[in-house]
Amino acid sequence: MEDKELLQIALGLSSPWFVKDINLNTSKKRMDIYLDFTKGTKFPCPICNKLSELHDTKEKVWRHLDFFHYETYLHTRVPRTKCNEHGVKLVNVPWTRQNTGFTLFFEALIVAMSKEMTVSAIADMVNVHEDSLWRILSHYVKEAMVKTNLSNLDIIGVDEISVKKGHSYVTLFYDLNKDRVIHIENGKGKDGFRKFRDFLSTKTNPDNIRYISMDMSPAFKGGAKEYFPNAKVVFDKFHIVKMMNDAIDKVRRSEYQSNKELGKTRFMWLKNPENLTDREIIKMKSIKDLDTKTAKAYKFKLALKRLWEIKNTRAAREYLEKWHYWGTHSNIKEIITLAKMIKRNSYGILESIKGDISNGVVEGLNNKIKTAFKRSYGLKTEMYRNTMIFLMAGKLKLPTRS
Ligand SMILES: [Zn+2]
């Protein structure tokens, strides 16, 4: 078999396209493959598909997958048709989409690599500028987002993550039916809910949303009430336990002033008893013996966590009432404040138990996103950032080969 014929098969070319010439440059480790089409071929106008006369051709070049360690480029003259209705147009050739310098095979490789490597590492490896790779990724992410079906969506999660050091946040909206990020808004305000509703309207009826799981921030509560009035608001266990942990730490820090035994114990109080190390168990016992407020606050946390083990809503409501009573009589300022807040928002906490809804999976997705952010510090634009978030947590159907 001739090497041209072999390449033709490897490239998946079919009539009228054929390999005209190959140029191997061993010192530059580069292979240039020249394609052409059979003379006299009529091509369809890219708009109406009607076979049209050839007007002229344009020279084009595309980066293709490396053959072995040779950077490989395809060259050809691309025909321009002259359609009676649409005028002169560049035809679509099967190995690429329009206006990119890459073949579909090459782009599919970049998409596949992006799940395992940072874009800058891929850029180094394939010797292509990072910006070009981001454009490829963003194209496929957008295309997949358009195709994403949300018609059965009825449970959503909302959470904010910090995207830069300091106070820059984005609000992420999650499909909790399928555990994926479906929308990103800048900031963490109420207005994000309006924009999310607009986005959702293009996919499904926003009034189909039955539950929104989130934290107790006034902006989120306001946004949910105004733009998703039919949905039940659910306050997620994770966020409530986090508030509890923050309260314990406040208690500990103020108590530390008079009890130095509490130094360096911050992380111990965040843990569940079963996760404590032997050393921590001994330490905790000795501190409890001293009957500290911190140890008391820790007991309040463990008691609150037991709430989610009660599956009966009425029993859960009664338990929460009792916990609130104990909390407000605890003589610990931080616990009293928290107990009052939990009481005010108990409707959403009980809803999380009734509907068995949590943002648990959201934390996993957020950790993936945060890790990706850390790896690729300096995501230059919002487009890069959003593309990255969807790649990591969007569960998109991306092309793996063409
Ligand atoms: Zn036409």
Distance (Å) from CA 392 to ligand 1 centroid? 40
C-alpha span between 352 and 155 (Å, rounded): 12
pLDDT at 327 over 60: yes
Q: What distance in angstroms lies between residue 44's CA and the mean position of ligand 1's atoms?
A: 8
Q: Are 57 and 41 in contact (CB under 8 A)?
A: no
Residues near ion ligand 1 (CB < 5 Å) are: 45, 47-48, 83, 85-86
Taking only the tens place, the pLDDT of each residue in 91-104 is 999 999 878 899 99
Span 129-155, average pLDDT: 94
d(CA 160, CA 187): 8
DSSP state of 185: E
| Exposure class string for 355-372: b at 16+ Cβ within 10 A, else e | eebbbeebeebbeebeeb
Q: How far is the CA of 45 from the centre of ligand 1 (A)?
A: 5
Least trusted range by pLDDT, from 161-165, 170-174, 248-252, 382-386: 161-165
Rg (CA), the chain: 30
Chain-wide mean pLDDT for the chain? 91
Percent of the chain with pLDDT over 90: 74
| 48 alpha carbon – ligand 1 mean position (Å) | 4
How far is the centre of ligand 1, averaged over its atoms, from the C-alpha of 136 (Å)?
28
Q: How far is CA 229 from CA 19, 152, 183, 361, in A?
A: 62, 18, 19, 25
Distance 363 CA to ligand 1 centre (A): 51
Rounded to the nearest angstrom, the distance between the alpha carbon of 79 and the centre of ligand 1 is 14
Q: How far is the CA of 39 from the centre of ligand 1 (A)?
A: 21
Q: What percent of the chain has pLDDT over 70?
A: 98
- Distance (Å) from CA 57 to ligand 1 centroid: 17
- Residue 402 binned pLDDT confidence (cut-offs 50, 70, 90): very low
Q: Say how many Å lie between the CA of residue 77 and the centre of ligand 1.
A: 20
* Calpha distance 168→162 (Å, rounded): 6
The pLDDT of 203-215, averaged and rounded, is 96
Of residues 10 and 247, more confidence is placed in 247
pTM, whole model, 2 decimals?
0.85
Confidence bin at 398 (pLDDT 50/70/90): confident
Q: Are 76 and 35 in contact (CB under 8 A)?
A: yes
Using the mean position of ligand 1's atoms as its centre, give its distance from the Cα of residue 316 in Å: 67
Query: Which CA distances in Å does 371 have to 48, 123, 310, 393?
Result: 46, 19, 34, 12
Give the CA distances from residue 5 to residues 24, 33, 237, 392, in Å, rounded to whole numbers and listed in that order.
16, 12, 63, 40
Ligand 1 center to residue 54 CA distance, Å?
12
